Structures are given as structure tokens and as C-alpha cells.
Structure 1
Amino acid sequence: MTEDISTTRIDGDGRSVNRRKRGALLFLRDLLVIFVVAVLVSFLIKTFLIRSFFIPSESMEMTLVKDDRIIVNQLVPGVTPIERGDVVVFKDPGGWLPARVEPEAPPLAAAIDWFLAFVGLSAPDSNDHLVKRVIGLPGDHVTCCNALGQMSVNGVPLDEPYVVLPAGDTKVSRDDFDQVVPDGSLWVMGDNRYNSKDSRYNADTPLKGFVPIENVVGRAFVVSWPVSHWAWLGNYPETFAGVDEAAEGGD
């Protein structure tokens, strides 16, 4: 009898150990499934909905400060049309950015950066994109500057509260311009008007300073980092009030 009882106890302990091992394996399996699903969801969100970029220059101050991180709505312009005043991220149309050589990163760091970029938590290609404010849509007539130093769109002078100018300057552009935006293109400018290489200063590029709408990655709608800079990014509809009506009247 004693031997039988001892054997039963040993067998019972073995089954208990096996159950614990099986439970641990099931737990690890569930964790792996959750991780894979989270990565796939993040990838889909990054690919089709929103994406993060960092600001590489001072051209949009003080709306955006260098090294700020922004969240971009990628449904613009594919689903939602671009509007005047939108802050947009776009791929270099050609010749806007200087050629640069990517520094070679250690394999581990490169792998981590690739993974973070894959799920949308990093933006290693931010230096290959630009961020500016849309001023002119296809067909718009954009000019600067009137007697008050203002820019006009379709003959309507703009009061631009987002613009940063050097102390003592009231003219919203150092240089005058007079352009009609071609079909399928945009006229974009930085808010830091005297420190922005935007549509005004890319006339010598293949597209003469205009940005194809197809190059737009999306509309920036929030500053996400640092926390102290957190803000929604509006498009100031009051600034562009009457511009559409003026365009229709011109037709």
C-alpha cells in the first residue's frame, strides 16, 4: 500500500508540473499573438491613417519648432481634400532639399530604427520630406505684396496671424511674387517667412516651386512631442474667407 500511495503522489506532482509548463507556454503564445497583432495594427495605421514626423528646420516657427514631433493625417488628400491654410507634409518635388549621405548606423541600431519606422513610432525619412503651409490651391492667383505688406490670393488680402517676421518688418515676404497655381499643384510657404526656402525660392527647380498634390503625404493636425509644445494645428479659415468667392467671381 505504501508503494502505491508514493507512486500516486509522484504521478500527481508530474501532472502538476506539466500543467504549469503548458500554462506558461500558452501564456507566452498569447503574448506573441498580442504582439504580432499590435505590430500589424500599428503598421496598418501608419500606412493608411496617421504617421509621425519630426521637424528638421526652423522654417515653420513659431507654429512648429525644430525637433517637434507632429502627427499627420494621411487621409488628406486621398479622402479629404486639402484646404488653404493646412500644414502639410510632402515629398521633395525635386531640387528643394540638398543631396545628403545617410550615416551608417550600427546593425542593431539600424534594426531597431527599421522596426520603429515600420510600426510608425519613428520617422527616419523626415529629412526627405518638407512641411509648409498651403497658401494657394490649383487655379489660385497668389501675389505679394500690397501697400500694407500683405499677400493676396485671388485679389483678397490675407491677415496671417501665424506668420513670424523679423523685428520691425511688416512685409510678409522679403521678395515680391505673382503666380498662378497650375492644375494639380499647390503654392506653399513657411510661417517663418524670412527663413523658409519654400515655393518662392524654388523657381529654378523642375516644377518651378509648385508642389504636386500627389506628393503630399498628409495634413499635420497635432504637435505630439514635446508635451510642453502640444497643440492642435488649425488652418485659419478666417484668414482665407472670401478667397473662393473671389475666384468664382473672376471666372
Structure 2
Amino acid sequence: MADVMRSSGSAEDPQDEEHRSGAPGGDSGDNSPRRKPREKKKGSFWRELPILIVTALVLTVLIQAFVARVYVIPSQSMEQTLHGCTGCNNDRVLVDKITYRFSDPEPGDVVVFRGPQAWVQNEFQTEEPSNPVVGFFQSVASLLGFGAPDEKDFVKRVIAVGGQTVECCDAQNRVLVDGKPLNEPYLYWEPGRGVGQDEFEPVTVPPGHLWVMGDNRNDSADSRVQGGGGINGTVPVENVIGKAQVIVLPPTRWQAIPEPNPQATALGAPSWQSGLPLGVGFAAAFPVVWLGRRLVGVMGERRSVERR
């Protein structure tokens, strides 16, 4: 009878339990000493810190050179889109260097570019330090995006591109591109400088060049005056460093930079482009209708099976 109870699992001999566990009291029987966790070597962090710093600096330089860089706005020429004035907290903007690797600047874009050879009127001056040590650290800071801006770098808004003819002004004080008035909601009229723009004769922008102007229209040394104006005032596309995308400093000014196309309303879009939304609607309608019919069919089959 006892044998039957043991085989059915209703009772069990404690000695058998100890035998299975390999040691009295149910111990695992593993008498090998436990390995102690490795202790981190003291001072390893301080040895790795210089490597981390150098790596961070190299990455910063690479990012600033090929991806994006922060620029300071040094003048009032882009007020009030971008703040830059004596005694105020000048804006710092993030300039995207990737966009124009795949496309060209378009009207309305706010761009940072190197001043062409003909551009001799700098919007600001940077004093060269007499101390070579100070000059070295200033160069390093500039490379990292914290130093003083280069006096040959400018920030302006694209008004016209290669092949277009720009002139000023019509009876309503508007700039014309290919004879059409522009819609420029970003214009700022600085107090004491009037609200009338300086007139200039028609200029046909050469291919691969840009006609740029400041939003503070009466306080901006731009394509109208640089190099004597005319074709000499245009900027080669290859001189464009990047597209100003976001105001990053000061924190109270965090925002994307508005870039409405001033030619959008005036020149209008080609007729074929106006049909794009309708074409997309038709293209999307077919798969949607097919999917709907498919779902209705599946639901109908399920109901007929359930009724059976």
C-alpha cells in the first residue's frame, strides 16, 4: 500500500528530497566559491575624460562644418525678423548647411552667405586682437560657433533668382520681379527712416546668382548698393553657406524663421500645378474605394458562414 501511495505522488520520503537536492537541507550542492564582481579601477573616469572632450570637440567641428552652425545676427538689416542691434540681445540663428546640397535657394529664403568680392560695405567690424594667444582662442571659439562673426558673412532674404528681372518701385512702393509686384509681409520700416524704398533700375539677375535684400528695407546694405548696385550687387549661389532655419538664442525668441515666398501671390503658380490637389485626390480615391469594397466583401462572407 505504501508503494502505491509513493508512486502516485501523494506522499514523499524526506530522504529522497535530500538526495535529489544533493545536500542536506535542500542546498544546491554547488560548493564552488562565488565570483566576486569586478571592481572598477579607480581613476578610470579621469583617464577617459580627455578622450570624451576631444571626441566632443571633433564632432562639434564636423557638425558646424557640414551640417549646421550657429551664427550671430550683428546688424539691424533684418529687423524685425531677426534682432541685431547695439545694446540689445542679438539673435543667434541655426543655419542649415544640408538643404542647399540638394536644392537651390528660393525667393523668400533667409540665407547666410559669404560676401562677394564686390561687397565692400561690411555691416559690422571685428577688431583683430593684438595678443596672439587671445587671437588663437578667438579663432577656436569662432570655429565652434561661439566667437565673433566673420565680417564678410551676411544674412539677407532672397528676392529674385537667376534669370529674373527685379526693379523698384511701382506706384504703391512695391518691388517688382518680372514686372509683378511682390507681397512682402516681413518688411520693417525703422522709425526715422521713412517708409519709401529707394528706387533702382531694372536688373536681370545672372544665372547662378541671387538678388538679396534686408527686411529692414531702409537700413540694409544689400544688392541695391553693394558693389555699386546692379549686377555687381548679386550674390553667387556658390557663396551661400546655408539657410537660416531657427532662432536658438535668446530663449525668449525661440521660433522658426518665417520664409514666405514674396512671389507666390504676385507671379502665381503654373496652371498645371493648380491641378495637383485634384490629381492627388483622384489617385488616392482608387485604392481607398478598392479597400472599402474588400472589407465589405470579407464582412459579408463572415456573416454567411455564421448563419450556416
Shorter-chain TM band: 0.7 to 0.9
Identity %: 33
Aligned length: 225
166 and 70 in structure 1: CA distance in 2 versus 1, 3 angstrom threshold: closer
For the residues of structure 2 that align with 1:126 and 1:240, how far apart are their CA atoms?
A: 33
Q: Paired residue for 1:41?
A: 59
Contact 2:107 2:263 in 1 (8 A): no
Q: Secondary structure, in 3 states, of the residue corresponding to 1:117?
A: helix
Tell me the amino acid that sits aligned with residue 65 of structure 1: H
Secondary structure of the residue aligned to 1:77 is helix
Is structure 2 residue 128 aligned with structure 1 residue 103? yes
Match of 1:79 in 2: 102
The structure, 1 or 2, with the larger RCO (C-alpha pairs under 8 Å, 6+ apart) is 1
Give the 3 Å change call, closer, same or farther, for CA 232–239 of structure 1 in structure 2.
farther
Describe the superposition over 1:49-71 as per-residue Cα deviations: whole angstroms up to 9, x where unpaired: 10111112111111111132111
Aligned to 1:6: none
Cα displacement string for residues 189-243 of structure 1 (whole angstroms, at most 9, x for unaligned residues): 0011111111111252795101001111111111122222222112103653463
Cα deviations by residue, 1:53-92 (Å, 9 ceiling, x for unpaired) = 1112111111111132111111242233211111111111
C-alpha deviation, 1:29, in angstroms: 2.4
8 Å contact 1:50–1:71 — kept in the other structure? yes
Shift of 1:181: 0.7
Letter of the aligned partner of 1:178 in structure 2?
P
Separation in 2 of the partners of 1:208 and 1:235? 25
Matches within 5 A, 1:193-208: 193-204=217-228, 208=232
**Higher-Rg member (1/2):** 2
User: Quick one: distance in 1 between partners of 2:266 and 2:229?
Assistant: 32
Q: Please tell me whether residue 143 in structure 1 is matched to residue 153 in structure 2.
A: no
Distance in structure 2 (CA, Å) of the matches to 1:135 and 1:238: 7
From 114, 134, 140, the equivalent of 1:115 is: 140
* Amino acid paired to 1:34: L
- Whether 2:159 is the aligned partner of 1:159: answer no
Letter paired with 2:189 = L
Give the distance between the partners of 2:145 and 2:216, measured in 1 at CA.
28
Deviations 1:163-193 (A, max 9, x none): 112569554x222331111011000000111
| Structure 1 residues 44-63: aligned runs within 5 Å | 44-63=62-81
Letter in 1 for 2:167: T
Contact residue 107 and residue 160 of structure 2 kept, 8 A: yes
Take 1:226 and 1:182, find their aligned partners in 2: how far apart are those partners? Answer: 38
Residue segments in structure 1 that go unaligned for 5+ positions in a row: 1-18
SS of the residue corresponding to residue 57 of structure 1 reads coil
CA distance in 2 between partners of 1:136 and 1:123 (Å): 32
Superposition CA RMSD, Å:
2.7
